[in-house]
Structure 1
Amino acid sequence: MQDIIQGLMVWAVTLTGYQQPVEPPSVEAVTHQQLVKTLCDDQFCTAVAYYDTKTQTIYHDERMQLDLDQSARGFIVHEMVHYLQDLNGELVPEEMSCEQRIEKEQEAYRVQRYFLREHRQPTFQLDLAVSVLANVCKNTKAID
């Protein structure tokens, strides 16, 4: 598994231009229920992975088969971009504006989409997510 993680880090570094870190992030499998509890306050959601800036760990749904599934690896590449952003001082959620957070998310999606296309995997869900992101800050301001 460590070879897969190292290979995915190479993808993230190559496609972002960030410097290669000394160590990749920790990558840990957790139950889907744990993801839902952490990310969605125990409400239904489709989350499959996230990067925790406090522990510098990528958590992913234990049902993901990283050794077999390129789509699953794409989610890890996405989270590795966030790890690289964090190492470069660009990912400080509590200090970032909505627009800055969206910009970082778009970078991670861009890398994930490129990775998936290179591995001949569909990207329509990512394309939809990116199109929705473009309006998140506008919609948030309308609610405030």
Structure 2
Amino acid sequence: MMPLVLNFPSVNLVMIGASLTQLMSILSRLRRFLCLSILIAVSGIAQSETVSGGWSNTIDVINSYSAENALTYDALVQELVFQASEITGLSVPLVLPRVVHADSETVSRYACSSKCRALAAYHPHHGIVLDHSIDPFSNHLARSILLHEIVHYLQDKNKFYAHSSDCARWFKREEHAYAAQNNFLKKVHSTTRVSMSLSKSCRTNNG
């Protein structure tokens, strides 16, 4: 029977490596917890902020869902912000985006310069607007639509393609958001996939 020979430097390196891996995992969870704590602390500011003009007369604030569901909706938005950040690699802002529901005509008006059919839109000054028919609690596709707009929020706050021309920026951001949305649908084991379509103006300007 051969004697057992231990290579102590190798054993120590393995132990140190395992300890570092465990430490990185703990730090990652701690970072997520701290960011979540900050978002919880300031989310009320974002949701109650007064917006002058714009949608103020035509949109019902998300709190119309009911007082019981308001905090649940905030928690969903917070979770989707982290999911979107993880998928895209974009940094998480300290303030949550404002989310509101509106009628189809209003959503389309803010999504397109011309008449179009849209279920959701993001506006840099007013936040995210969802069609009344979109309920992120009901199914993965509806949730992915909200995540798509949250990606636009992250793009805006991270100045993603901010120095590109208007059309190039629109195209790159949409391409990026649709890829993130499909990534999310894949993660939740949904068989649904979405695709983007170019606006006529962008097709014309870019040949």
Select the residue among 134, 138, 142 that pairs with 1:72: 142
- The aligned residue for residue 33 of structure 1 is 105
5 Å matches for 1:1-144?
1-40=73-112, 43=115, 45-55=116-126, 57-90=127-160, 92=162, 96-124=165-193, 126-127=194-195, 129=196, 132-133=197-198, 137-142=202-207
Specify the code of the residue in structure 1 equivalent to 2:131: D
After superposition, the Cα gap between the structure-2 partners of 1:69 and 1:82, relative to the gap in structure 1 and judged at 3 Å, is same
Partners of 1:38 and 1:21 in 2: CA distance: 23
After superposition, the Cα gap between the structure-2 partners of 1:41 and 1:21, relative to the gap in structure 1 and judged at 3 Å, is closer
Partners of 2:123 and 2:146 in 1: CA distance: 13
Partners of 2:190 and 2:201 in 1: CA distance: 26
Partners of 2:154 and 2:112 in 1: CA distance: 24
Quote how far apart the aligned CAs of 1:5 are: 0.7
TM-score, reference length from structure 1 = 0.78
Q: In the comparison of the two structures, how many residue pairs are matched?
A: 134
| Gaps in structure 1 of 5+ consecutive residues | none
CA deviations on 1:35-64 (whole Å, 9 max, x unpaired) are: 133334673x32001110122x10010111
Specify the code of the residue in structure 2 equivalent to 1:118: K
Partners of 1:37 and 1:104 in 2: CA distance: 19
Q: Between the two structures, name the one with larger relative contact order (CA 8 Å, sep ≥ 6).
A: 1
Partners of 1:26 and 1:16 in 2: CA distance: 20
Quote how far apart the aligned CAs of 1:27 are: 0.8
After superposition, the Cα gap between the structure-2 partners of 1:63 and 1:97, relative to the gap in structure 1 and judged at 3 Å, is closer
Specify the code of the residue in structure 2 equivalent to 1:99: A
Moved over 6 A (4+): none
**Identical-residue share of aligned pairs (%):** 27
After superposition, the Cα gap between the structure-2 partners of 1:86 and 1:41, relative to the gap in structure 1 and judged at 3 Å, is closer
SS at match of 1:28: strand
SS at match of 1:59: strand
The 8 Å contact of residues 82 and 91 in structure 1, kept in 2 or not, is answered as no
TM-score, reference length from structure 2 = 0.57
User: Which protein has the larger Cα radius of gyration, Structure 1 or Structure 2?
Assistant: 2
